[in-house]
Amino acid sequence: AQENTVLQPRQPVEELSYGATAAHGRKDPVVARSRNSPAKRIYLTAAVLCYANLIIFMDWYIVPGILLELQKYFELGDGVSGLLQTVFTLCYMLAAPIFGYLGDRYNRKIILGAGIFLWSGATLGSSFISESYCWIFFLSRGLVGIGTASYSTIAPTIIADLFEEGKRTTMLSIFYIFIPVGSGLGYVLASSMAKVTGDWRWAFRITPCMGGLAVVLLTLLVPHRTQRRTALHRALSISGTIRVAAEKPGVQRAAKTTWCQDVVSLAKNWSFVWSTLGLTAMSFVTGALGMWVPLFLYRAQVVQGMVPACLQEPCNSSTSLIFGGITVGTGILGVITGAEVARRLRKINIKADPLICSTSMFISALCLYIALMVGQTNIISTFIFIAFGELFLSVNWAVVTDILLYVVTPRRQSTAIALQILVSHLLGDAGSPFLIGIISTAIQAKKAHSFLWSFWSMQYSFIICAFIGVFGGVFFLLTSFYIEEDRKEAER
């Protein structure tokens, strides 16, 4: 009941005055206390959210890190292997709108805790599945996707509520740094545990323990109501109308909308639409790379005679370790660089954010194409160009979310993030791992089995990612045509 009480005056926030003029208005003493006293608690809350984001993406990329072992254990081909990530992503994206609806209306702390508990339990359970029950393993990955959706939908809106615009970009950048860092560590964790223990199952038993710690930290350290109240106080303190807004039921009623009305409004927001399509292209590429690059690099090394072919478990996992390290390094550098460049260029050009995203997508597509072309002859050059491709993809993580948060009104942000997750994954990484696997399998089926054709099949199927990356750059370029108008509309 307390949470719903706090939620009620939050809805008309976007109808209040924003900007420099309003900032000089009357300051309410109650608001001042709420902003100054919990400063340390706010940063502590952000730290807990970042930690949970780290382990979620570690768990996300455990499967690609030990894909060779899983293929041998469950006797999976490329096409069926791609379904592992597709099942995860489908459940993730279908659950996202539900959690977006709940996140805009109910206690977000409880939803986050329940989601982390769900995916931790499902991951731990998957480590005890025998080879004759492969379908249960697929089901467990779907449950992990549902648990992950609750977190990815709601956590960014809490950070947006906790910090004002200047610090918000910085904190979102820190939060999104843990996407590539967690992804890279997922590869490292999976391959390292498989190598040390000689059993791939142990890779699925570390992140659940870390998830249990995240639930404890969330319960003990994250305030019960601070997230909602902070967003309200931030906006109302700028306008100086906290009591007026709370005492005008007519304004509150006017702000109430149904979920369908929110969706229709978002569909008319062209900055949101085009940036979501740009993120969809980005998700398509990252999903395919995340699933198949370690295997592509391994087959390239086999063709060049650098490593022997894997005929039984345990398999050579050095490519997962190297790719994991590349993902961590390029992710940190890319997110920090993207946020800093965006912060500086916004002072010069209000369209800077979508233009940065567009440019980085074009460069990334070119780098990935070159990496595929040199994969058969020069493995070092392949690693280098894959690293640059990932670097420019990582530039966009925080910038894309920041675009959404300033072109969408506050009361629709959870719904907007949920819809963006749904669309970007439905048309992006839900299908790209499976599509690449299917194309690879189809190419191999036309030729006699050989390690060279195994490599070529993956190489040819990967080329589609470079072209999708170009489309992503075009979508972000189109976003720049509407960004100024939609931002002003959201501020009004």
310-324 exposure pattern, b = at least 16 Cβ within 10 A, e = fewer: beebbbbbebbbbbb
Angle formed by the axes of helices 396-407 and 352-373, nearest 10°: 150
Residues in the chain with pLDDT values less than 50? 1-37, 226-254
pTM of this structure: 0.71
Task: Report the alpha-carbon distance of residue 472 to residue 480 in Å, rounded.
Answer: 13
Sign of the alpha-carbon dihedral angle for 229, 233, 235, 239:
positive
The upper half-sphere exposure of residue 337, i.e. CA atoms within 13 Å in the direction of its Cβ, equals 16
- Closest by alpha carbon to 429, among 58, 54, 84? 84
Give, for 305, the enclosing helix (H) or strand (E). Answer: none
All structural domains of the chain, each given as residue ranges with its CATH number in brackets, are 37-223 (1.20.1250.20), 259-491 (1.20.1250.20)
Q: How many CB atoms lie within 10 A of CB 393?
A: 27
Contacts of 50 (CB under 8 A, 6+ apart): 174, 175, 178
Contacts of 358 (CB under 8 A, 6+ apart): 278, 473, 474, 476, 477, 479, 480
Task: Report the alpha-carbon distance of residue 323 to residue 329 in Å, rounded.
Answer: 10
What is residue 249's predicted lDDT score, i.e. its pLDDT? 45
